Amino acid sequence: MTTNVQAFFEAYRDAFRALDGAAVARCYAEPSGISQDGVYTHWANRGAVQANMDALCQLYRERGLADVAFELRQVVPLGGHALFADVHWRIDWAGDDTGAKAPWHFGTAYHLMRTPEGWQVLLCTAYDEAALFQA
């Protein structure tokens, strides 16, 4: 199971590397949602997810995304068709060598479910990244 989860997050990472909001959105189930800063946002369909991911990719593009890397910190099976994954992310930014654009490090948790398309995000819990957007 962990191998399939690793492959899922590699595809998810690659969609962000490509700054392709549609590809990121295809990693999400319909419906799905995100929990961040104590607020739950429900996405009733893939279009709603894509609108969010297009905006996030645009922010990353404007900031100068150079690379995205991840490490699976924990995977907890939840029966045969669901799991919980805790992921450490690193985002590197293009720019000068002054350290003005230090890499972002943050954790995000995902409740994945197995669908006919493979693993997809049912709920993303962005528990560690909100402060980065304030910097």
CATH of the domain at 44: 3.10.450.50
Whether residue 133 is predicted with pLDDT greater than 70 in this model: the reply is no
Q: Which long-range contacts (CB under 8 A, 24 or more apart) does 46-49 make?
A: 49/24, 49/25
Query: Are the C-beta atoms of 27 and 120 separated by less than 8 Å?
Result: yes
**Per the structure, how many domains does the chain have?**
1
Task: Round to whole Å and give the CA distance between 47 and 37.
Answer: 23
pTM equals: 0.91
Question: Domain of 21?
Answer: 2-134
User: How large a percentage of the chain has pLDDT more than 70?
Assistant: 90
Whether residue 134 is predicted with pLDDT greater than 70 in this model: the reply is no
Q: Which phi and psi (to 5°) does residue 128 adopt?
A: -140, 10
Q: Which residues of 31-46 are buried (b: 16+ CB within 10 A; e: fewer)?
A: ebbbeeeeeeeebeeb
Task: Burial-class residue 93 by CB neighbours within 10 Å (0-12, 13-18, 19+).
Answer: middle
Mean pLDDT of 34-59: 96
**What are 5-18's pLDDT values in tens digits?**
999 999 999 999 99
**What are 96-123's pLDDT values in tens digits?**
655 568 899 999 999 999 999 999 999 9
SS3 state at 94 = coil
Task: Round to whole Å and give the CA distance between 95 and 101.
Answer: 7
